[in-house]
Structure formats: structure tokens, C-alpha cells
Amino acid sequence: MIDKLIAKIKATDAPIVVGLDPMLGYIPNYIKEAAFKEYGETLEGAAEAVWQYNKGLVDAICDLVPAVKPQVAMYEQFGIPGLVAFDKTVKYCKEKGLLVIGDVKRGDIGSTSAAYATGHIGKVTIGANTFEPFNEDFITVNPYLGTDGIKPFVDVCKENDRGLFILVKTSNPSSGEFQDRLIDGRPLYEYVGEKVAEWGADCMSGDYSNIGAVVGATYPEQGKILRKIMPKTFILVPGYGAQGGKGSDLAHFFNEDGLGAIINSSRGIIAAYKQEAYAKFGETGYADAARQAVLDMKADINGAIKH
């Protein structure tokens, strides 16, 4: 699966993933009004607004980027109707040729991780039939439970040609509270990084492994170290833009082949029309604003990584 992501990154010349994290506050009023008119001010109404908003965004950016990353929490907050919108969004993005990274951050004991893997990137057999329930291409996974909580996800990736991005060093301000704790003089995230490399070693797909890592753009020095600890691991880098990470911080997340990382931006793209720089697009131009923000992000990042 990582070979498909790399091929798409090369084809679009954009190591960029757009986070589809639809807060109600980001959605233009005209979309919400139309959805509420049809479904009322209900969970179904909110979910319809989310779906229409996403559809506009996906149509506007699908030729520019290799992948999208819907954050499932933003859909789960609207209960079942929200998850139906998540499911529709995943399917629509795949129809449009985008790879889908489900940002689900699941992780549990073995049998439970196996069930999550089945639901998100695997197949479930019911009698004589087989289904792929959510059918994402990649998902994010939490490593706190160790190898036996991760292995069922890795196994499903092997069976079904899918991929993972495992949390190593997260982008948030307090990520260091546990992740930076020193063990024999080295931070925990380095040990987690070593394990990610180990878990991925027999999951290669070309030059990179299907088992990737998450390292926040907000921690460029740690990214530099982790890049070396995990040379064949693709790194999903959140935290660019709204969270504070800049293009110039990102060079060290990439290998010398110009690959090895994909940078996520969510708010900075999908709610670009709310920024002064893109205000001219107006509410009804939210999708065009997102398109321009992707182009600007691409220039920023390629400027920083291509010397």
C-alpha cells in the first residue's frame, strides 16, 4: 500500500495529506442551512452538512493531493449519523482516486485490536459472505499496549495490502509528558520508533514499509532523530499550519530520496476561507479557498525540501 501512496505523491508532486476534520464551526452557513432545512437541527442534519462540506472539498482538491485523512472523532461526535457521513466520505474519496488514511488512533489488547483492524482495514466473514466494513487504506494506531496490541493490525496489513501510521511522537504541547521520559538516557519515543521499525521490517512494499509512524511537525529536532532510527518508515507529520509547524521545520522528516514523509494540514486547508489570506473567496468559495491553500502549502513544503 505504501508503494501506492508514493506513486501518488510523485504523480501530484505533493507530499501532502488533507485532514478532513469537519467541525460545525468550519462549515459555511449556506451548507448548514440547506442541511437543517432538509433534516432539521438534528444529528442527521449535522451529518448531512458535514457530508456536503466534505464533498465540495474533495471535488476541489482531489487532483492536487495523494490522500486525505478524515479524523473519525469529528464524525463520532455526531453519533451514528456522523459515522454514516464518515463512511460516505471514505467511499467518495476512494471513488475520486484519493487514498484514505483513517485517523482513528485505535489500539487495545490482541483480540480487540484484531476486531478494530477487521472493521477499518480488513475483511469480516459473515456466513458465506465477506465484507470490508470501513475499508480505509491506512489507519493510525496507538502503541501504548505494546507488540501484542499492534501485531493484529500488522497481520491485517499483510493479508489485505493496507498500511498503518503508529503514534511515536505526537504534535500536541504535552506530548513530552510521557513520550519524552528518559529511559537509560534516551526518550521513550525513540524506543517506540525502534519498535515501529521492527514491526515494519517484514512488511516492506518497495523501499518503504507499510508500517509507518506519526511524528509531529512541531518537534523538528525529534523528527531528525527519528528519521535516522526508522530509515524505511514513512512518517505521517501532523501539526503543520494551524498547530504551528512551518515548511522550514519539515526538511529533516524526509530522506535523501525526497520521500519518507507526508505532511498533514486540516484546519489550514478546509477552513482556509476563514483566514484573512483567503477571505476574498468568501463563504461560497470555501472549496476554491481550500484548493488555493493546498497550492500554497505545496509551494512552501517543496521549497523547503527541494534544495
Exposed, middle or buried by CB within 10 Å (0-12, 13-18, 19+), for 242?
A: middle
Closest CB to its own copies among 86 and 234? 86
> How many Å separate Cα 254 from the centre of its chain?
17
Long-range contacts of 29-38 (CB under 8 A, 24+ apart): 29/283, 30/283, 30/284, 31/56
Closest CB to its own copies among 7 and 124? 124
Shortest Cβ distance from residue 42 to its own copies (Å)? 6
* DSSP calls for 214-230: EE-TT-HHHHHHHHHHS
- CB-CB contact of 247 with 14 (8 Å): no
Shortest Cβ distance from residue 136 to its own copies (Å)? 12
Shortest Cβ distance from residue 183 to its own copies (Å)? 5
Closest CB to its own copies among 243 and 292? 243
Closest CB to its own copies among 192 and 225? 192
- CB-CB contact of 251 with 225 (8 Å): no
| Cα–Cα distance for residue pair 272/96, rounded to 1 Å | 22
Is 105 labeled as catalytic in the residue annotation? Answer: yes
Interior/surface letters 216-227, b for 16+ CB within 10 angstroms, e for the rest: bbbbbebbebbb
Rounded to 10°, the helix 220-229/188-200 angle is 40
Shortest Cβ distance from residue 303 to its own copies (Å)? 27
Closest CB to its own copies among 113 and 255? 113
Q: State the sign of the Cα–Cα–Cα–Cα dihedral 82, 85, 87, 89.
A: negative
Rounded to 10°, the helix 110-121/147-160 angle is 30
Map residue 28 onto helix, strand or coil: coil
Closest CB to its own copies among 204 and 242? 242
DSSP state of 185: T
97: cell is 482516486
Q: Which of 55, 105, 151, 274 is catalytic?
A: 105
Shortest Cβ distance from residue 200 to its own copies (Å)? 16
Longest dimension (CA), the chain: 60
List residues bridging with 183 in a β-sheet: 186
User: Which of the residues are catalytic?
Assistant: 105
